[in-house]
C-alpha cells in the first residue's frame, strides 16, 4: 500500500486531497502547522503530523515520522491580494518563504529516499495565475511562477532516476482561504486610486461564472500521481480547463 505526504492539510485543497486519497485506499500523512486530528476519520491509514515548511528542522522531523513516502504533494501556501505598492514587504517575503522556498525545501528533503528506491512522484500545486496573469496578485503570482519553472526543470533532472515531477494548476477557488490567511485587511492594500480599479474585479470574484473546487484539485492530483506519460501539467477546475481550452 502506497503512502502519500501532503502539506497544508488544515483546509482547502490539501484537506480534500488527503480525504480523497484515504478514501481510495492509500496511507496518508496529512501535515499542517497546527495538527487537527478531528478533521479526519479515525483510521490506521491516516496520520496527522505537525509541519512548518519554512522550518528545516520541522521538515526533517515530519519525514522521519512519516517513514517511506511514495508521493509528495506540495500544497501548503498563502495568498496575497492587493496592490503591490501597498503590500508590506515582510508579507511578500512570507509568501515566497512558504509558497516557493517551502516547496523547494520539501522537495529537496524527499528526493534521497525516492532516488534510493528508484521511484516516486512529486506534485507541486501552483495556480493558473502562472498561465494567465491575474491583476492585483503580483507577489503571489511571482511565488507560484517560480515553482512552475522549478518543476519543469526538475522533471528533466529526476526522470532518469525514476522520479516523476508534476504540476497541478488550479483556477480560482472562492471556497478556499486564498487571501484570508495573510492577516492583511483588504482596505489597507487597496486604497485609492487602486480601489476604483479593483472594485469590478472583486465583484467578478464574488460571483464567478466558472471556478475551481477542492474536489477538482483532489482529482487532478490523483490523475497526476497515476499518470504514466511524461505529461507535467494538470489543470484543475472548470475555469482552468476553459483557460487552457
Query: What number does CATH give the domain 3-244?
Result: 3.40.50.720
pLDDT score recorded for residue 213? 96
C-alpha grid cell, residue 145: 511562477
For residue 227, with 0-12 CB atoms within 10 Å meaning exposed, 13-18 middle and 19 or more buried, which class applies?
middle
In the 8-state DSSP scheme, what is residue 93?
A: H
The CA-based diameter of the chain, rounded to the nearest angstrom, is: 56
Low-confidence ranges of the chain (pLDDT < 50): 179
C-alpha grid cell, residue 116: 534510493
Provide the β-strand partners of residue 47: 29
The residues, ordered by sequence, that sit 6+ positions from 177 with a Cβ below 8 Å of its Cβ are 11, 12, 79
pLDDT score recorded for residue 23? 97
pTM (predicted TM-score) = 0.95
In the annotation, is 140 catalytic?
yes
Catalytic residue among 140, 172, 194, 197: 140
pLDDT score recorded for residue 71? 98
**Cα Rg of the chain, angstroms:** 18
Local structure of 68: helix, strand or coil? coil
Whole-angstrom distance, CA of residue 179 vs CA of residue 189:
12
pLDDT score recorded for residue 187? 83
Amino acid at each position: 500500500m502506497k503512502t502519500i505526504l501532503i502539506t497544508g492539510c488544515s483546509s482547502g485543497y490539501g484537506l480534500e486531497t488527503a480525504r480523497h486519497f484515504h478514501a481510495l485506499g492509500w496511507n496518508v500523512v496529512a501535515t499542517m502547522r497546527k495538527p487537527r486530528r478531528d478533521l479526519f476519520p479515525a483510521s490506521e491509514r491516516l496520520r496527522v503530523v505537525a509541519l512548518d515548511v519554512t522550518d528545516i528542522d520541522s521538515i526533517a522531523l515530519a519525514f522521519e515520522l512519516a517513514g517511506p513516502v511514495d508521493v509528495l504533494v506540495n500544497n501548503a501556501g498563502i495568498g496575497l491580494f492587493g496592490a503591490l505598492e501597498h503590500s508590506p514587504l515582510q508579507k511578500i517575503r512570507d509568501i515566497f518563504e512558504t509558497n516557493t522556498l517551502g516547496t523547494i525545501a520539501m522537495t529537496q528533503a524527499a528526493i534521497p529516499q525516492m532516488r534510493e528506491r528508484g521511484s516516486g512522484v512529486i506534485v507541486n500545486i501552483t495556480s493558473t495565475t502562472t498561465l494567465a496573469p491575474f491583476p492585483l496578485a503580483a507577489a503571489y503570482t511571482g511565488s507560484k511562477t517560480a515553482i512552475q519553472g522549478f518543476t519543469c526543470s526538475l522533471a528533466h533532472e529526476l526522470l532518469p532516476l525514476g522520479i516523476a515531477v508534476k504540476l497541478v494548476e488550479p483556477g480560482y477557488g472562492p471556497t478556499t482561504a486564498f487571501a484570508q490567511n495573510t492577516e492583511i485587511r483588504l482596505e489597507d492594500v487597496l486604497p485609492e486610486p487602486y480601489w476604483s480599479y479593483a472594485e469590478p474585479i472583486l465583484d467578478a470574484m464574488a460571483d464567478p461564472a466558472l471556478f475551481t473546487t477542492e474536489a477538482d484539485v483532489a482529482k487532478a492530483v490523483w490523475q497526476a500521481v497515476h499518470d504514466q506519460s511524461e505529461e507535467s501539467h494538470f489543470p484543475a477546475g472548470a475555469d482552468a480547463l476553459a483557460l487552457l481550452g
